[in-house]
Amino acid sequence: MARSANVTRRGFITSVMAFAGSVMGVVVGLPVIGYLISPALNAKKSDAWIPAGKLDTYPLGVPTSFSFTRTQVNGWEKTVNSFSVYVLRDASNQVKVFSSICTHLGCRVSFHKSSEEYICPCHDAHFNINGGVVSGPPPRPLNQYESKVDNGNLMIHVIEA
Ligand code: FES
């Protein structure tokens, strides 16, 4: 009996078993993969009002640093972000809250009382007391956070991506 190019019985069964194994792998594997990655796919922005203490503890006309951290759980990942802001209160209790992150490349600015400016050490940028660019490469003023006063307590609105 001459061998033909046709598939042998053993080869046929091997192919069927391999195909069935692949199908079962996909049927079982896809839901497992979906379960594992779905929290990351469902990540969304979160926001919160951060209590920043009594408003009257902030001096008038002097930007005062306030720092806090936020823990964000994103799927299986847990991230702790630290924030640093400057709170500026005027005589009529109007409040501005500035980010301390330079709008050029993200270094932290610090307020210098002598010049009444926020200065970024990275590329020597200067911002005025209201966050406007005085000199240096930043393309825009310091970012501001929304804030409100609730029963004398300052609250800062933070939005995280
Ligand atoms: S990062 Fe602030 S001036 Fe460049």
Ligand 1 atom nearest to CA at 136: 3
Q: Is 132 helix (H, G, I), strand (E, B) or coil?
A: coil
Distance 47 CA to ligand 1 centre (A): 27
Q: Is the CB of 102 under 6 A from ligand 1?
A: yes
Between 142 and 160, whose confidence is greater? Answer: 142
| CA–CA separation, 20 and 12 (whole Å) | 12
pLDDT in tens, 73-114: 877 888 898 999 999 999 888 999 999 999 999 999 999 999
| 153-160, strands of its sheet edge to edge | 46-54, 153-160, 147-150
The length of the chain, given as a count of residues:
161
Q: Mutate which of 101, 108, 119, 120 to test ligand 1's pocket (most atoms within 8 Å of Cβ)?
A: 120
Ligand 1 proximity of 137 Cβ (cutoff 6 Å) = yes
> Measured from the CA of 137, which atom of ligand 1 is nearest?
3
With a threshold of 0.75, does the pTM exceed it?
Answer: no
Nearest CA to ligand 1 atom 3: 123
**Tokens read off for 27:** 């049927």
Query: CA angle, corner 11, sides to 7 and 14, nearest 5?
Result: 145
Ligand 1 within 6 A of 122 CB?
A: yes
pLDDT in tens, 11-67: 888 888 999 888 888 888 887 777 776 766 666 678 899 999 999 999 999 999 999
Tell me, what's the pLDDT at 76?
80
Residue 134 Cβ inside 6 Å of ligand 1? The answer reads: no
Contacts of 58 (CB under 8 A, 6+ apart): 64, 87, 89, 95, 154
Picking from 102, 95, 90, the residue whose alpha carbon sits closest to that of residue 127 is: 102
pLDDT at 134 over 90: yes
Note whether 104 and 138 are within 8 A (CB): yes
Per-domain residue ranges of the chain? 1-42, 46-160
Q: What is the mean pLDDT of residues 116-138?
A: 98
- Of 68-72, 94-98, 121-125, the range with the lowest mean pLDDT is 68-72
Number of CB atoms found within 10 A of residue 70's CB: 14
Please give the Cα distance from 13 to 22 (Å, whole number).
14
Q: Please indicate whether residue 63, judged by its CB atom, sits closer than 6 Å to ligand 1.
A: no
- In the CATH hierarchy, which top-level class contains the domain 46-160? mainly beta
**Cβ-based neighbour number of residue 25 at 10 Å:** 10
CA-based nearest residue to 109, from 147, 138, 146: 138
- Which residue, by CA, sits nearest to atom 1 of ligand 1? 105
Helices (H) and strands (E) in the chain, counts: 1, 11
pLDDT at 43: 62
